């Protein structure tokens, strides 16, 4: 059902743009049987970020992305989420807004994608994505190692903030939306932690940290 809707949304370009990993996630959702007890299982938030980035990458308007992704999330991703349908809708809207306003590049992860989704070496973007992932990995290494040598703990803290920047910004979007929905801050802390979202330094959220970040926003 969702694949047909997606093909209709993309029309004649569907064969070119529905990559193997995307098609697998559309049809099967997150296949938990592919993960071992030692693996980190992606969250619903991770998957919606992935789809939002892909939609933006192939040029689908945000409003079209939101409609399809909301229906998909409510049906296919709710089993791996403790959020209510209304929260899933708000979260998906926040993800789309964040991704489309950011300058983040779409990187599927190729054979090593964190969703353990199928990958096809004949995919139209396979080489591009593999090279992009390698560049990102190299840049991450440089950002982490060089500051340690040059500036010690201050630079290390900066590299940690860079690492968790996306999660932190997503957390703030969620928090601000929940405040608009008149949800108490202590409940927001629980929501952020249940989704695996981190603070700007990679820590679990606490009431004090959330209060400080909201006041400084």
pLDDT at 160: 65
DSSP-based three-state secondary structure for 37: coil
CA-closest candidate to residue 48, choices 13, 9, 83, 5 = 83
Distance CA 129, CA 109 (A): 7
Burial 83-118 (b: 16+ CB within 10 A, else e): beeebbbbbbbbbbebbbeeebebbbbbeebebbbb
pLDDT at 119: 92
**In this predicted structure, what is the pLDDT of residue 27?**
95
Q: Long-range contacts of range 49-53, CB-CB < 8 Å, 24 or more positions apart?
A: 49/95, 49/99, 49/166, 49/170, 50/25, 50/108, 50/115, 51/22, 51/25, 52/95, 52/96, 52/98, 52/99, 52/100, 53/99, 53/104, 53/105, 53/106, 53/107
DSSP string, 87-111: HHHHHHHHHHHHHHHS-PPP---GG
pTM above the 0.75 mark? Answer: no
Average pLDDT, 10 consecutive residues per value, the chain (217 residues): 90 80 94 91 92 92 95 93 91 91 85 92 85 65 44 54 79 87 90 86 87 79
Rounded distance, CA 21 to CA 159, Å? Answer: 30
What is the reported pLDDT for 159?
Answer: 62
pLDDT of residue 145: 44
How far is residue 140's CA from residue 104's CA, in Å, rounded to a whole number?
14
**Closest by CA position to 30, among listed 117, 92, 89, 113:** 117
* Residue pair 21/89 in contact by the 8 Å Cβ criterion: no
């Amino acid at each position: 059902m969702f694949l047909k809707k997606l093909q209709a949304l993309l029309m004649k370009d569907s064969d070119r743009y529905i990559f193997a990993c995307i098609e697998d996630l559309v049809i099967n959702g997150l296949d938990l049987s592919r993960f071992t007890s030692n693996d980190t299982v992606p969250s619903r938030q991770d998957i919606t970020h992935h789809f939002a980035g892909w939609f933006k990458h192939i040029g689908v308007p945000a409003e079209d992305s939101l409609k399809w992704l909301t229906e998909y999330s409510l049906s296919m991703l709710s089993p791996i989420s403790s959020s209510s349908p209304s929260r899933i809708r708000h979260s998906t809207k926040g993800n789309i807004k964040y991704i489309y306003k950011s300058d983040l590049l779409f990187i599927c992860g190729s054979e090593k994608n964190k969703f353990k989704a199928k990958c096809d070496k004949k995919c139209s973007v396979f080489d591009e994505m593999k090279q992009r992932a390698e560049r990102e990995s190299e840049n991450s290494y440089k950002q982490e190692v060089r500051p340690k040598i040059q500036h010690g703990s201050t630079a290390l803290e900066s590299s940690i903030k860079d690492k968790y920047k996306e999660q932190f910004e997503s957390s703030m979007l969620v928090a601000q939306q929940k405040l608009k929905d008149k949800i108490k801050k202590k409940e927001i802390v629980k929501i952020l932690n249940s989704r695996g979202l981190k603070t700007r330094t990679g820590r679990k959220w606490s009431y004090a940290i959330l209060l400080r970040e909201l006041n400084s926003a």
